[in-house]
């Protein structure tokens, strides 16, 4: 059965998820700065994940970081055949199992949230049955400033939230310490997607 990924209330926790990873320096810095529990939804084809695998591997081993499946190359599922969906998920699963040391199953996030019943069924055939959608987004984009990104944290990091940020832009590097501080200031405990769905 496929879980719809609807956020569930957890009074004092927040699940920060970071997606994609087109910016290798953001991937590197996030490890150095973060003490929070975090879930990655990376695309295996972006070179920064291979480049910085050794940094992330201990965090994955300790359970501080979880790796979910966001496909190999970020193609939208509704544009793909069943076999292509399975290939996209399987390529990333094999990459992160090999380089990060843990399976991504059964957690996945379809690129851009693009999905329907057919794509859910195809993903399930590849072993991915828990869709980790989200409840809020940090404000990011090529024209956004670090101040705008930081300001969005007060709303985005809410109790019980599943929050999306991306490791795609330099602005994340500048905002990172303040974003981490915002979780603490809000009195929230960070959890991974595994924690959310296991609870
Ligand atoms: Zn994405």
pLDDT digits (tens, 9 = 90+) for 142-194: 889 989 999 999 889 999 999 999 999 988 888 888 988 888 888 899 999 99
Residue 4 lies in a domain: no
* Domain total in the chain: 1
Q: How far is the CA of 111 from the centre of ligand 1 (A)?
A: 5
Q: How large is the average pLDDT for residues 85-109?
A: 97
Rounded Cα gap, residues 171 and 147, in angstroms: 9
How many A from CA of 74 to the centre of ligand 1?
A: 6
How large is the greatest C-alpha to C-alpha distance in the chain, in angstroms?
Answer: 45
Residue burial 148-186, b: 16+ Cβ < 10 Å; e: rest = ebbbbbeebbeebbbbbbbbbbebbbebbeebbebbeeb
Would the CA dihedral through 17, 170, 55, 90 be positive or negative? positive
- Expressed as residue numbers, the domain containing 175 is 13-198
0.85 cut: is pTM over it?
yes
Domain annotation covers residue 43: yes
Residue 47 CA to ligand 1 centre (angstroms)? 15
Q: Model confidence over 25-34: pLDDT tens digits?
A: 999 988 877 6
User: Which residues lie at CB < 5 A from ion ligand 1?
Assistant: 19-20
Question: Which CATH number fits the domain that encloses residue 50?
Answer: 3.20.20.370
- Whether 112 maps to a domain, the answer reads yes
């Amino acid at each position: 059965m496929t879980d719809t990924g609807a956020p569930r209330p957890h009074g004092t926790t927040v699940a920060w998820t970071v997606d994609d990873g087109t910016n290798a320096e953001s991937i590197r810095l996030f490890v150095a700065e973060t003490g929070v529990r975090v879930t990655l939804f990376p695309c295996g084809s972006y070179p920064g994940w291979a480049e910085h695998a050794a940094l992330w591997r201990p965090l994955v081993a300790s359970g501080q970081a979880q790796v979910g499946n966001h496909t190999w190359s970020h193609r939208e599922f509704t544009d793909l055949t069943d076999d292509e969906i399975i290939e996209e998920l399987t390529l990333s699963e094999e990459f992160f199992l090999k380089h990060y040391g843990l399976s991504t199953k059964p957690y996945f996030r379809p690129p851009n949230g693009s999905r329907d019943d057919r794509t859910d069924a195809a993903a399930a055939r590849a072993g991915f049955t828990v869709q980790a959608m989200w409840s809020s987004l940090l404000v990011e984009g090529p024209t956004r400033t670090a101040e705008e990104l930081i300001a969005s944290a007060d709303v985005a990091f809410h109790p019980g939230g599943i929050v999306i940020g991306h490791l795609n832009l330099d602005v994340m590097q500048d905002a990172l310490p303040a974003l981490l501080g915002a979780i603490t200031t809000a009195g929230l405990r960070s959890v991974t997607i595994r924690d959310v769905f296991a609870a």
